[in-house]
């Protein structure tokens, strides 16, 4: 099942993508209108939505709706650094013995085809194509062998990074959290449809130039390792997003530097999930709010 959040005629709700259409749940009072509530309801919500799919419920053409970030207001957006061997080599850093997590502030969340802002304060705007997973239920102390039970599904993330601001801050949070720098989507593919999340091809292009090509089998700490580690420290909640790291080919390590410029398009494709595509624009004056 492909779970999406979308807006049509000014009304935002969730639905299920089937081919080039989306199941419209707006008239189904028994189904939540947001993804976190949908996951919180558990199996019953998924069964209700599956029934709508099977019975040919009201559908809209995808081209007639605006896809939003699948999770609009996650409680947490966590990411991991240095999780692919070739990326570690290109950075010249040591292989970590323990996973390096950091926060992306949730205000950075962006829709799958939204615009990424080139900040007024930096030209060192970089991309990182990543697989992300979404937590399905409140959980704590989840052992690795049961971690799959608390993953609702998988999506695509671009861990957009402002490199100079990232390196100024020991936690990396500032350089990872600029507004619009958390595009995710275009939907969440439920776990039952991903046979092996640790064998998916990821490809990233800037315009027509291939920049990154990796497979999730290259992860040092896989999705289940991450769930076990994070849930040991704190409670994970429905809708929490965890991004799993990027491979070699980031712009900061190219010669000359391959930072994103206004007008360029960053396209990320993950096997069996879909495409995340965002255009870079200069940060507009309208972002000044005081």
**Strand 151-158 relative to strand 182-190: parallel, antiparallel, unpaired?**
antiparallel
3-state secondary structure of 152: strand
Do 48 and 97 lie in one domain? The reply is: no
Domain count, the chain: 2
Residues 106 and 238 in one domain: yes
In the predicted structure, residue 29 carries a pLDDT above the cut 80: no
The DSSP secondary structure of 194-247, one letter per residue, reads -S-TTS-EEEEEETTEEEEEEEGGGBSS-HHHHHHHHHHHS-B-TT-EEE----
Res 57 pLDDT > 90: no
Residue by residue, DSSP assigns 13-39 as: EEEEEETTEEEE-TT-TTS-SSHHHHH
Do both 93 and 43 map to the same domain? no
Q: What's the mean pLDDT in 24-52?
A: 90
- The CA angle 223-228-234, to the nearest 5 degrees, is 120
Going by pLDDT thresholds of 50, 70 and 90, the confidence category of residue 250 is very high
Instruction: Identify the domain containing residue 37 by its residue range.
Output: 2-68
- Whether residue 28 is found in the same domain as residue 118: no
The per-residue pLDDT for range 91-121, each reduced to its tens digit, is 999 999 999 999 999 999 999 999 999 999 9
Identify whether residues 156 and 94 lie together within a single domain: yes
Report the pLDDT value the prediction gives residue 25, as an integer from 0 to 100: 86
Q: Are residues 116 and 144 in the same domain?
A: yes
pLDDT digits (tens, 9 = 90+) for 124-141: 999 999 999 999 999 999
Flag whether pLDDT at 56 surpasses 80.
no
pLDDT score recorded for residue 170 = 87
Same-domain check for residues 105 and 213: yes
Average confidence (pLDDT) over 63-71: 98
């Amino acid at each position: 099942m492909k779970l999406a959040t979308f807006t049509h005629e000014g009304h935002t709700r969730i639905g299920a993508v089937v081919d080039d259409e989306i199941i419209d749940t707006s008239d189904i009072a028994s189904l939540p209108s947001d993804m976190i509530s949908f996951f919180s309801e558990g199996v019953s919500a998924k069964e209700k939505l599956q029934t709508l799919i099977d019975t040919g419920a009201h559908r809209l053409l995808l081209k007639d709706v605006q896809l939003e970030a699948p999770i609009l207001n996650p409680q947490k957006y966590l990411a991991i650094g240095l999780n692919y061997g070739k990326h570690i080599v290109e950075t010249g850093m040591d292989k970590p013995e323990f996973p390096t997590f950091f926060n992306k502030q949730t205000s950075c969340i962006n829709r799958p085809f939204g615009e990424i802002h080139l900040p007024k304060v930096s030209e060192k705007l970089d991309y990182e194509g990543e697989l992300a997973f979404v937590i399905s239920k409140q959980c704590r102390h989840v052992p690795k062998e049961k971690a799959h039970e608390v993953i609702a599904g998988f999506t695509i993330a671009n861990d957009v990074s402002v490199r100079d601001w990232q390196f100024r801050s020991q936690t990396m949070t500032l350089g990872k959290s600029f507004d619009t720098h958390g595009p995710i989507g275009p939907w969440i593919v439920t776990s039952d449809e991903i046979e092996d999340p640790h064998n998916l091809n990821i490809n990233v292009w800037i315009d027509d130039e291939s920049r990154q090509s990796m497979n999730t089998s290259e992860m040092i700490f896989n999705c289940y390792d991450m769930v076990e580690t994070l849930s040991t420290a704190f409670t994970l909640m429905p809708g929490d997003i965890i991004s799993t790291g990027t491979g070699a080919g980031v712009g900061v390590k190219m010669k000359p530097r391959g930072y994103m410029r206004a007008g360029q398009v960053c396209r990320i494709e993950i096997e069996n999930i879909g495409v995340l595509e965002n255009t870079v624009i200069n940060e507009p004056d309208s972002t000044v709010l005081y």
